[in-house]
Structure 1
Amino acid sequence: MSSTHAPAHRERTTTIPAIVVRVLFLGAVLAVAAFTVPLMIELKQWMWLSVMILAAIAIFVLYSTKRFVPGKYLFPGTFFLVVFLITPIILTIGYSFTNFGDGTRGSKEQAVDSIVANSVQQTEDSTWYNLAVATQGDPVEGPFTLFLVDPETGTIYRGDETAPVQEVPADEVTVTSGFVTEAAGYTILDAREVNTAYDALQALAVPISDTSAVRVQGANQAFEGTTVLSYDESTDTLTNSQTDEEFTVGKVGDSEYFVDADGKRAFSQSWLQNVGGSNYERLFTNAGIAKQFGAAFVWTLIFALGSVLLTFVVGFALALVLNDERMRGRRLYRSVLLMPYAVPGFISLLVWSNFYNRDFGLINETLGLHLDWMGDPTLAKAAVLLTNLWMGFPYMFIVSTGALQAIPNDVTEAARMDGASRLQTTLKVVTPLLMVAVAPLLVASFAFNFNNFNAIQLLTEGGPFLPGEYTRGGTDILISMIYRIAFGGSGADFGFASAVSVALFALTGVLAAIQFRFTNVLEDVN
């Protein structure tokens, strides 16, 4: 009797904890979905909303029953693949068809509110307030809240760019010498932090009514001003109340702006818009940009191929030498050769950048030269390849050493018995066998160097630059040129940078496919 009831008892005791864990897990998923779905709807994040809903449905279908066992194991990896790889690619492609960038990031409603708010002007009867800047987020990025104290009445007000100014009960804040010094749930910025964030605060206008707002003036003062501009939604126009000038929506370039009567752009602020394929048209039809893209592409190929070939040749040669059993101290030599690989890459790049200094760099001083490594485009390219060789050959040395040790000694001995010299054995027997294992890694190394941003940015910052040229420097590869377009000093242009990124993604895929096609030939070696 006991033997027949024992299994049933064990099944009950093991399934109860499993059920509890399952219920808690599904409850947590439901809670996260209930919290994030309304937030995403409010922010109009439709793609992430779709991902969240589909993921929640998949989790409940897979983990609420004992069926779909393979799906339970496949789902986590698939989910993270979609979230961290597929979705960013889709977003990048989507942004490549927009004008997303500085001054064009938000909606049209946000652009209108910003233009109207920035038209606030001080009048003779403007009220001045003692100002304290607070935040519930980052002291530099914000968002910021203004705490205002009327010096005549002592009344305390609070407001930000999304909430109009309203009176604050005295018991919610601490006022010292006429300024708010503490507020529940807020961090009050000191003078240094206000100075750091002053550019953002200058653009901040806290509305009081449809015709007035509060603007920051200095580190601890603010004034109530009158908005000069007003927006008429029915006619989609902005009107200046002082001059009666009317601004309508017009197209300037690829984007819409509010323009004056002559069709000229009246304000720098615009909004996120779909511009179709104009970014791609600009990339491939604009002679200047197409030339820069082509030059960057050619140098990117040279840089990637040169880095792979140089590091492989040096790494393979050193592996061959240290694979000879007659050589003593091989472990010590191998340890020394791995040292460049053990040093963090960004440290090596910063150190090598000092080596190339024209006046007191180690290379010029040691060799008695006076070469302007970072000022001459050709020398700068040579410096990049030399530095990448130093950083990359230990990896190829490790890979080649492992592959050489996997080749049976019988193969090389048979070649020697057939009369082959050591050089012939290495070139015609060892190298083809080694390439079978190493070729896929060479393809991966090429793809890595094709987008090796750090090697360029930390060593040369893309320079040297020709006079008047700011988009591409002499050593800029495609990825660093994209970075300069997206975050350059002339203003961020994420839409165009996304288009270049899509083109780069396609080029990388095509080149990788071609390389893998050629590596298939090596399968015949086996």
Structure 2
Amino acid sequence: MSTVAPQDDTPVRGTTSHARELNVWWFAKLAVMAVLNALTLYGIYSAFMVQEWWILASLVAILIALNWVYFSKRMVPAKYLLPGVVFLLVYQVFTMGYTAYIAFTNYGSENTITKPQAIEQILSTGDVRVEGAQDLPLAVVRDEDGVLGFAVAIDGQVEAGTAETPLEVVDGATLGPTGAPAEVPGWVVLGLGDMAALQSEITSLRVPFSDDPADGWIRTQTGTVGFQSSPRFSYDESADAFTDVTNGEVFTPDDRGFFVGEDGTRLTPGWPVTIGVENFSRMFTDSRVSSALLQAGGWTFAFAFLSVATTFFLGLFFAMTFNHPAVRGRKVIRSLLILPYAFPGFLAALVWRGMLNERFGFINSTLLGGANISWLSDPWLARFSILAVNLWLGFPYMFLIATGALQAVPADVYEAAKIDGAKAFRQFRSITLPLLMISVAPLLIASFAFNFNNFNLIYFVTGGGPNIPGHPLALGQTDILISVVYKVAVDAGTKQYGLAAAMSILIFVIVGLVSWLGFRQTRKLEEVI
């Protein structure tokens, strides 16, 4: 008679721990997805509130893709591809596309906001004093959030408000000897010292009487007496035109993004409009821009080429020297040689700028015994200083990649060359350099592209100087193309972001063309080897 052994219902320990681990990972994924969904939904809400429909559509697409991919069991490859694709679209494709769009507009310091925003700002900033209005005793106050505002005495009552909140009656307020508000509950009354420090903010502040802009607002020139102002311009939405209420002059929109009167007077601010290829043509037809591009362009190519050449050959020299087995303490020396690479580039550039100071710099005052060498104010010495500083910053990178490439060259190749009677220089020219260039050439091309746009070094060491006297763009002798773009976009009196974007596209095309030619030569080198 056979008996059936009782079944053991005890779960396998490994299976239980595996299931528990899967649950932990699932809850972790759920938490991460909840955070991502919350952030994306907030972005969708913000885009809806400001009516940026293309941003809203993009965020909706990202939200759907995130949840579909990470909650589906069949989208395993997409789980790894999606983050990279999103970052590529946001940080590369969008940036390049938006720059290209700006290049075809007149976007600048006078044309930075949308047309509805420009209309609102013209209505809120253009004002005239109401004829016959009485002066009102006034005190400058701050609310609980520290926002500046006015408190005024009107018919024995105290009303207070800020630029964003119209005047409202404040109960329990008291008046001083001059009739101005002395104590305002919920508000801090500023003294003369505080008002003196905020004079420009106070004189430009406008506190509306009500939510209706037609009622005007309170302004002050002294900080103690206010007066009522009303909008100087009225806007007719059907005619899309402004009318100056003081003289009846009409302002209509032109093709440059401004409301313009019959005599050519413009109301500011304006709004960006598409101007076609005007920015691109200006780079070649405007003598101020073309001269800057030609002069800076020549130095840019020289700087990028010399930077790559000097750093590469110095790094290669140290790599070959300390790759030799007869050199003692190679590890320690290699560690010391890469120290410049460990320092932040902008900080090192500032240190070098101080060391190169003509009067107080360490190089002149200490190393050269009090010499008076104009390292940063003489054009050629400034260029030499830039290259020298870049050499100090850049050779450790070349030293690292050359060391790795040299260690990958088979030793028997050199042994065969020695047997054939090749000397050291012939080995370097016929074996080391060709084999090294196969792996290093792409990095040299990338280094050329980096130095072509090495804005930080120019900005922090010389600031583009020494300046060229009389140049309308304040061009300097060491300015490269990217620093010229910065001066056009930021330093110029009238900021021209559209022109700067067009110049950036030109730089992109130049770097792309040089990189393409360099990679073609690299492929030819591989075929020869």
Considering the TM-score relative to the shorter chain, is it more than 0.5?
yes
Which of 501, 505, 514 is equivalent to 2:508? 505
CA distance in 2, matches of 1:12, 1:329: 53
CA distance in 2, matches of 1:410, 1:171: 96
Label 1:106 to 1:181 Cα distance change in 2 as closer, same or farther (>3 A): farther
**Aligned residue in 2 for 1:58:** 65
> Which residue type is aligned with residue 429 of structure 2?
L
CA distance in 2, matches of 1:464, 1:372: 10
- Render the CA deviation track for 1:212-263: whole Å, top value 9, x for unaligned: 1233646787643222222222333322222333333335xxx23222322x
CA distance in 1, matches of 2:526, 2:167: 75
CA distance in 2, matches of 1:483, 1:425: 46
Label 1:417 to 1:512 Cα distance change in 2 as closer, same or farther (>3 A): same
**Aligned residue in 2 for 1:224:** 228
CA distance in 2, matches of 1:497, 1:192: 43
CA distance in 1, matches of 2:237, 2:249: 16
CA distance in 2, matches of 1:488, 1:282: 19
Alignment of 1:158-307 (within 5 A): 158-160=161-163, 163=164, 165-167=166-168, 178=182, 203-208=204-209, 209-215=213-219, 217=221, 223-251=227-255, 255-262=256-263, 264-307=264-307
**Aligned residue in 2 for 1:452:** 454
Which of 468, 492, 499 is equivalent to 2:470? 468
Alignment of 1:65-84 (within 5 A): 65-84=72-91
- Render the CA deviation track for 1:298-357: whole Å, top value 9, x for unaligned: 211111111000111111112222222223343443343333223322222122223333
Label 1:204 to 1:266 Cα distance change in 2 as closer, same or farther (>3 A): farther
Label 1:369 to 1:33 Cα distance change in 2 as closer, same or farther (>3 A): closer
SS at match of 1:247: strand
Do structure 1's residue 521 and structure 2's residue 528 form an aligned pair? no
**Aligned residue in 2 for 1:436:** 438
Contact 1:107–1:271, Cα closer than 8 Å, also in 2: yes
Label 1:331 to 1:233 Cα distance change in 2 as closer, same or farther (>3 A): same
More moved, 298-307 vs 99-108: 99-108
> Which residue type is aligned with residue 38 of structure 1?
Y
SS at match of 2:58: helix
Contact 2:251–2:261, Cα closer than 8 Å, also in 1: yes
CA distance in 1, matches of 2:434, 2:125: 69
SS at match of 1:62: helix
**Aligned residue in 2 for 1:101:** 108
More moved, 438-447 vs 147-156: 147-156
After TM superposition, the score normalised by the length of structure 2 is: 0.84
> Which residue type is aligned with residue 283 of structure 1?
M
> Which residue type is aligned with residue 415 of structure 1?
A
**Aligned residue in 2 for 1:376:** 378
**Aligned residue in 1 for 2:413:** 411
> Which residue type is aligned with residue 253 of structure 2?
V
The Cα of 1:289 is off from its aligned counterpart by: 1.3
**Aligned residue in 2 for 1:333:** 333
CA distance in 2, matches of 1:65, 1:336: 51
> Which residue type is aligned with residue 129 of structure 1?
L
CA distance in 1, matches of 2:528, 2:61: 47
Contact 1:117–1:207, Cα closer than 8 Å, also in 2: no
> Which residue type is aligned with residue 242 of structure 1?
T
**Aligned residue in 2 for 1:493:** 496
More moved, 347-356 vs 148-157: 148-157
> Which residue type is aligned with residue 110 of structure 1?
Q
Which of 456, 477, 480 is equivalent to 1:477? 480
Q: Structure 1 unaligned segments of length 5 or more: list them.
A: none
Label 1:511 to 1:195 Cα distance change in 2 as closer, same or farther (>3 A): farther
CA distance in 2, matches of 1:512, 1:101: 31
Contact 2:138–2:223, Cα closer than 8 Å, also in 1: no
Label 1:135 to 1:156 Cα distance change in 2 as closer, same or farther (>3 A): same
Label 1:155 to 1:284 Cα distance change in 2 as closer, same or farther (>3 A): same
> Which residue type is aligned with residue 165 of structure 1?
P
The Cα of 1:462 is off from its aligned counterpart by: 0.9
> Which residue type is aligned with residue 150 of structure 1?
A
**Aligned residue in 1 for 2:4:** none
CA distance in 1, matches of 2:493, 2:119: 23
**Aligned residue in 1 for 2:3:** none
The Cα of 1:449 is off from its aligned counterpart by: 0.7
CA distance in 1, matches of 2:345, 2:225: 48
> Which residue type is aligned with residue 436 of structure 1?
I
Label 1:502 to 1:134 Cα distance change in 2 as closer, same or farther (>3 A): farther
Larger Rg: 2
CA distance in 2, matches of 1:399, 1:430: 14
The Cα of 1:423 is off from its aligned counterpart by: 1.4
SS at match of 1:150: strand
Contact 1:359–1:370, Cα closer than 8 Å, also in 2: yes
The Cα of 1:24 is off from its aligned counterpart by: 5.2
> Which residue type is aligned with residue 64 of structure 2?
I
SS at match of 2:266: coil
Alignment size in residue pairs = 509
> Which residue type is aligned with residue 246 of structure 2?
Q
Contact 1:181–1:188, Cα closer than 8 Å, also in 2: no
CA distance in 2, matches of 1:194, 1:91: 43
More moved, 121-130 vs 39-48: 121-130
More moved, 207-216 vs 40-49: 207-216
> Which residue type is aligned with residue 47 of structure 1?
W
> Which residue type is aligned with residue 514 of structure 1?
L
More moved, 464-473 vs 388-397: 464-473
- Render the CA deviation track for 1:367-404: whole Å, top value 9, x for unaligned: 47544333332222122111111111122122222222
Label 1:84 to 1:45 Cα distance change in 2 as closer, same or farther (>3 A): same
CA distance in 1, matches of 2:50, 2:76: 36
Do structure 1's residue 313 and structure 2's residue 322 form an aligned pair? no
CA distance in 1, matches of 2:225, 2:407: 74
CA distance in 2, matches of 1:44, 1:285: 38
Label 1:405 to 1:211 Cα distance change in 2 as closer, same or farther (>3 A): same
The Cα of 1:75 is off from its aligned counterpart by: 0.9
**Aligned residue in 2 for 1:356:** 356
Label 1:219 to 1:18 Cα distance change in 2 as closer, same or farther (>3 A): farther
- Render the CA deviation track for 1:26-82: whole Å, top value 9, x for unaligned: 555554444332321232323322220110111222123212111122112211221
The Cα of 1:170 is off from its aligned counterpart by: 5.1
* Sequence identity percentage: 34
> Which residue type is aligned with residue 416 of structure 2?
A
